[in-house]
Chains A and B, each alone.
Chain A
Amino acid sequence: MELTIFIIVAVLSVVSALGVIFNKNVVYSALFLLVNFLTIAVFYLMLNAQFLGMVQILVYAGAIVVLILFVVMLLGEQLGEDISSWVTPANGVIIVLALILLTIIGTAVTDYPTTGAKGDFTPELIQEYGQAEMIGVTLFTDYLLSVQLAGVLLLVGIVGVIWLARNDEQLPATGDVPTKEA
């Protein structure tokens, strides 16, 4: 049962990921990205990580893709170039480099398995205390420094955006508002 669902969702996930890349229309790409995010949320749910799954939908599917669509609509969509034009020597080098990087990452992950949070987190315990509580306690005790660093990083991002969006140029004066002659 679980394997069947996994295979269906996994195929959907890969197909939608390919759809993001190979679609010429940006809006369709964004929609495939939405499908991809939703399938990833299903993966989280199948791994018993309901909190992560819901946050995935809330943040990525609910906000990020809307933002992408917003920007696409604001700028006007342009059709991408043909796939045949992708075959260039530069892209070949990029593919080779990407494969090397993937190999290194894969080796690192398999050779040095990352350990999860410390403690005895059985599904029963999580069921009893609730997933959000467990994650919250872990984040704000063992991983407090990382959380605060992430917070500072986001704050820097916000400040940067405000700096970029700050409007230095004064709008040209429009003169007096024309009034109707009596």
Chain B
Amino acid sequence: MSQEIVQLLVDIVKLIIIASVIMGIFTFILLVERKLIGRFTRRYGPNRVGPFGLLQSIADAVKMMLKEEMVPGHVDKVIYVMAPGMALMTALSVFAVIPFARDTVVLPLESLIGFSVYLTPWVADINVGVLYLLAVGSLGSYGIILGGWSSNNKYSLLGALRTSAQMLSYELPLGVAVLSVVVMTGTLRVTEIVEWQTQFAGLAWIVFLQPVAFLIFFISALAEAGRAPFDLPETENELIGGFMTEYGALKFGLFQAAEFVHAMMFCTITVTVFLGGWNMPFLNEILNIMPTPIQALAPVLHLGIFIGKSLAVYCSLIWIRASVPRMRFDQLMAFCWKWLLPIALLNLFATVMGLAITAELLGLW
């Protein structure tokens, strides 16, 4: 086998591992969410299955799988079956460009197969990575829209309509907020944005330099992922279940998974773009004075930090869900177009002006 084919196989294996790990984390995070929501509302949350209710998610998954897979007679069958998969696939494919650590691990296999195998901590490091994030993220609404339309049910259709309007609108402030980060770091490569944040002993997190962009991004990401207080696609008190009213069994489970993975995806993007990625302040400086065996552990450490940060951001989503009531639809749209987008544009303008003035003062032109 040639080196290229081996690297290709390594990439495919990495993709499979990432997808399965994320689905594993999803079951865990579902439990965390239910537990935390319980605590926020002065309940215990699930605590019957296994010690501390730890096996609850597994029990739920088994239940979903054992239920009868039925397709209602009045739906558009092809799209009805396709929609949950589309929703999950687009959410999962974003993880391809996220760097989970700094160092590429080299497996010295020269004696065995004649060349070394490189294990990069990302699947693809493309030079338009940020655009890829936005592009694939923008495809995420299809699953919901098509699921709602194909159900042939007025409540589902209303949910789908709301979703398409909401996601189209909130993509704009999201993109503009990321754009001001791109202008600042001067690169569209995701790995380079994370590298940029390791300046000044890892203190140059973009959230400190671009707090407005961070807030706008975070709010828009909540809306894009359909999380509370922007969970208008399903609004169980007015639309029954919104776009997933007609879904049951594993297809319903896939929609649920897609929703959570979508939220997790925005958490990882937030961490990567705004919160320093795999880095912690002073981490590299401390690692540099450590003996070599500890330095070799850096990828594991980075991965741990990355997952920890993502989970922390996710917990803040749960906190928001428990504290903020849902918005009305007209409020939602007015908020996006009258507040978020103008502020995001002003922020972009201020960033560009600030950079230009700094460059002028420092004589960098």
- Given A58-B138, A66-B145, A130-B189, are A73 and B160 neighbors across the interface (CB < 8 Å)? yes
Q: Is the CB of A50 within 8 A of B171?
A: no
Which residues on A sit within 8 Å (CB–CB) of B79?
27, 31
B128 at the interface (CB under 8 A from A): yes
Chain A contacts of B164 at CB under 8 A? 66-67, 69-70, 73
B65 at interface by CB-CB < 8 Å: no
The interface size of chain A toward B, counting residues with CB under 8 Å, comes to 23
Interface of A is mostly: helix
Q: Is the CB of B168 within 8 A of A61?
A: no
Q: Is B346 an interface residue (CB 8 A)?
A: no
Main secondary structure of the interface of B (DSSP, over half): helix
Does the CB pair B134–A58 fall under 8 Å? yes
Residue A127 lies at the interface, judged by CB distance under 8 Å to chain B: yes
Any chain A CB within 8 A of the CB of B132?
A: yes
Q: In whole angstroms, how far apart are the Cα atoms of A73 and B152 in the complex?
A: 11
Quick one: closest B residue to A65, CB to CB?
B142
Q: How far is the CB of A100 from chain B (nearest CB, A)?
A: 38
Taken together as a complex, chains A and B put the C-alpha atoms of A73 and B243 apart, in Å, by 13
Give the contact-size bracket for chain B. 20 to 34
A53-97 interface mask toward B, CB cutoff 8 Å, 1 = contact, 0 = none? 111011001110011011001100000000000000000000000
Q: Across the interface, do A69 and B135 meet the contact criterion of CB distance under 8 Å?
A: no
Q: Tell whether, in the assembled complex, residue A130 and residue B187 are in contact, meaning their CB atoms are under 8 Å apart.
A: yes
CB within 8 Å of B: which of A130-145? 130-132
B199 is an interface residue with CB less than 8 A from chain A: no
- Sorted nearest first, the 8 A-B pairs with minimum C-beta distance are A62-B138, A54-B131, A57-B135, A58-B135, A70-B164, A50-B128, A54-B128, A54-B135
Given contacts A27-B149, A67-B164, A69-B145, list 19 more A-B pairs with CB under 8 A. A31-B79, A50-B127, A51-B128, A54-B128, A54-B131, A57-B135, A58-B131, A58-B138, A63-B138, A66-B141, A66-B145, A66-B167, A69-B146, A69-B164, A70-B145, A70-B164, A73-B149, A131-B128, A132-B188
